């Protein structure tokens, strides 16, 4: 960051803001030490763990009135900071949002690549507009940050929200690096939950598919009814127990699936209407009154 300031790529009073999402290790101590030793560093300590998306939003909300543009990046050091200069250049050319897009995923396992590609294809099929291979590494200008603050929903999926905001946008491409230390906090269960939240927060197509599945079963039932009547009048032998049990299990499964899916949407409505705060800030360090660009 000092290099970017020295080359006048970013302003003299730019700063780094670290968000500590209720970690139980020494992360906050390291942030406090960094802020004490470097005037460019600041820190936010959240009162408890609120999840990656809410923690990221807390940081963006905190700087939206202090900056012309802000760049969000994960702390695992896998995203290439060398493309920040290109992000700033595109911002100066008029882009309000600049997405950091992975040009390759060689550092990921085959399973991670497969599930990620499946996620993007499935969300696109469901009508959710996402930037392919983009996570949360992006530049957002002041206008985009102000618009993002208007979205007050609790079921947060920032990759989808930034696409909804609009404004002129562009992408920069980079090769994702190996993780420097530690392990990913996104196991398979959490990734599935994240993907499900993203789809159900921006699309009602899953309910539409349940509707069409119900119509399909009704049509099949009509044909089955005709077949049973014909079998009765012509004296054909009608298969008994196996077909009945198969039908009962199938229809029971479809009904439970449908109820569960609708219940998920109702649950999201329940969370939204309570309007509980998404995060609480316990402590701030390194705040300076003269900084207005990040």
> What confidence score (pLDDT) does residue 94 get?
92
Mean local confidence (pLDDT), 13-42: 90
* Structure tokens that stand for 241 in this block: 């127990």
**In-domain check, residue 92:** yes
**Has residue 237 got a pLDDT over 70?**
no
Q: How confident is the model at residue 45 (pLDDT cuts 50, 70, 90)?
A: very high
Mean pLDDT across 260-274: 82
pLDDT value at residue 56: 92
pLDDT band at 238 (very low <50, low <70, confident <90, very high): low
pLDDT at 107 over 50: yes
Does one domain contain both 188 and 215?
no
Torsion of CA 141, 170, 73, 144, to 10 degrees: 30
Report the C-alpha gap between 200 and 205 in whole angstroms.
Answer: 8
The reply to whether 181 and 248 lie within a common domain is: no
Per-residue pLDDT, 184: 60
What's the pLDDT tens digit per position in 124-183? 887 778 888 888 899 999 999 999 999 888 888 888 888 888 889 999 998 877 766 656
- Could you give the number of structural domains in the chain? 2
Which of 175, 203, 231 terminates a domain? The answer is 203
Residues 199 and 60 in one domain: yes
pTM beyond cutoff 0.85: no
pLDDT (0 to 100) of residue 44: 93
Q: Are residues 67 and 194 in the same domain?
A: yes
Residue 183, pLDDT score: 62
Does the pLDDT at position 290 exceed 70?
no
Residues 89 and 173 in one domain: yes
pLDDT value, residue 31: 92
- Determine what percent of the chain is predicted with pLDDT higher than 90: 25
CA pseudo-torsion sign 57, 169, 180, 114: positive
Q: Does residue 288 carry a pLDDT above 60?
A: no
Secondary structure letter of residue 82 according to DSSP: G
Q: Is the pLDDT of residue 259 over 90?
A: no
Please check whether residue 37 lies inside any domain of the structure: no
Contact 137, 73 (CB under 8 A): yes
pLDDT given at position 171: 92
Neighbours of 151 (CB within 10 A): 13
Is the same domain home to 117 and 181? yes
194 and 65 in one domain?
Answer: yes
CA distance 238 to 232: 8
Residues 187 and 71 in one domain: yes
Q: In which domain, by residue range, is 150 found? A: 54-203
Query: Is 127 part of a structural domain of the chain?
Result: yes
What pLDDT does 61 receive?
93
């Amino acid at each position: 960051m000092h290099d970017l300031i020295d080359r006048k790529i970013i302003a003299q009073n730019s700063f780094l803001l670290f968000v500590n999402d209720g970690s139980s290790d020494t992360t906050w101590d390291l942030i406090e030490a960094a802020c004490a030793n470097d005037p460019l560093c600041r820190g936010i300590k959240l009162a408890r763990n609120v999840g990656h998306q809410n923690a990221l939003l807390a940081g963006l909300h905190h700087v939206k009135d202090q900056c012309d543009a802000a760049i969000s990046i994960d702390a695992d050091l896998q995203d290439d900071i060398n493309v920040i200069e290109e992000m700033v250049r595109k911002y100066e050319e008029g882009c309000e949002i600049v997405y950091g897009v992975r040009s390759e995923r060689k550092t990921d396992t085959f399973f991670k690549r497969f599930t990620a590609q499946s996620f993007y294809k499935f969300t696109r099929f469901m009508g959710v507009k996402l930037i392919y291979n983009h996570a949360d590494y992006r530049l957002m200008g002041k206008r985009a940050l102000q618009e993002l603050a208007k979205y007050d929903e609790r079921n947060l999926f920032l990759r989808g929200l930034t696409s909804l905001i609009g404004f002129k946008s562009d992408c920069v491409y980079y090769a994702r690096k190996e993780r420097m230390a530690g392990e990913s906090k996104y196991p398979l269960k959490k990734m599935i939950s994240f993907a499900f939240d993203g789809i159900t927060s921006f699309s009602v197509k899953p309910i539409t598919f349940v509707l069409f599945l119900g119509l399909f079963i009704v049509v099949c039932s009509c044909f089955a009814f005709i077949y049973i009547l014909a079998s009765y009048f012509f004296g054909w032998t009608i298969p008994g127990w196996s077909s009945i049990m198969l039908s009962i299990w199938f229809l029971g499964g479809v009904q439970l699936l449908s109820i569960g899916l609708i219940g998920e949407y109702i649950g999201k409505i329940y969370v939204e209407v309570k309007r509980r705060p998404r995060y609480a800030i316990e402590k701030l360090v390194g705040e300076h009154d003269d900084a207005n660009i990040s």
